Amino acid sequence: MKIVVWVVSALLALAFLAVGGGKLLAPAAELQQSAQGVPIALLKLAGAAEVLGAIGLILPAATRILPVLTPVAAVGLVVTMVGATITNFVVGVPSSAVVTVVLGVLAALVAVARFGRWAVEPRTTASPAPNTAA
């Protein structure tokens, strides 16, 4: 199961890097054409949240430095996907909501796994050898 959590985390990270990076790097005029009434600033904010969440899914757990940030990032992505799903329904594109729901559910599974049984332990620092010369 540990490997499954890592694979799902990696795939989610790639998906969120691609989608979020696209929102961040796209020119405002290009975003405006596909925004369907959603403010550009909100799309850029969502893109930043997705990129940061993607980094948070992998980096803390992989380095074991503050690994509790990995499930926190997953929860943040769940919240982002809830907002994206609601937005898809409000702007009249419920078919796009399927993707956001699937991504949100997978992020929730990573959060539950990383907060629970498959949590990554933080890196321990080696304690200095005791001084036996007295």
Q: How many domains does the chain have?
A: 1
| Overall pTM surpassing 0.85 (yes/no) | yes
- Backbone angle region of 64, left / alpha / beta, with phi > 0 → left and psi within -120 to 50 → alpha: left
55 domain residue, yes or no: yes
- Indicate if the pLDDT at residue 47 is higher than 80: yes
Handedness of CA 114, 116, 117, 120 (dihedral sign): positive
Mean pLDDT for 100-117 is 96
125 domain residue, yes or no: no
65 domain residue, yes or no: yes
CA-closest candidate to residue 119, choices 51, 78, 66:
66
**Cα 47 to chain centroid, rounded:** 11
* pLDDT score of 35: 84
101 domain residue, yes or no: yes
Neighbours of 98 (CB within 10 A): 11
Domain of 45? 2-115
128 domain residue, yes or no: no
Mean pLDDT for 46-70 is 96
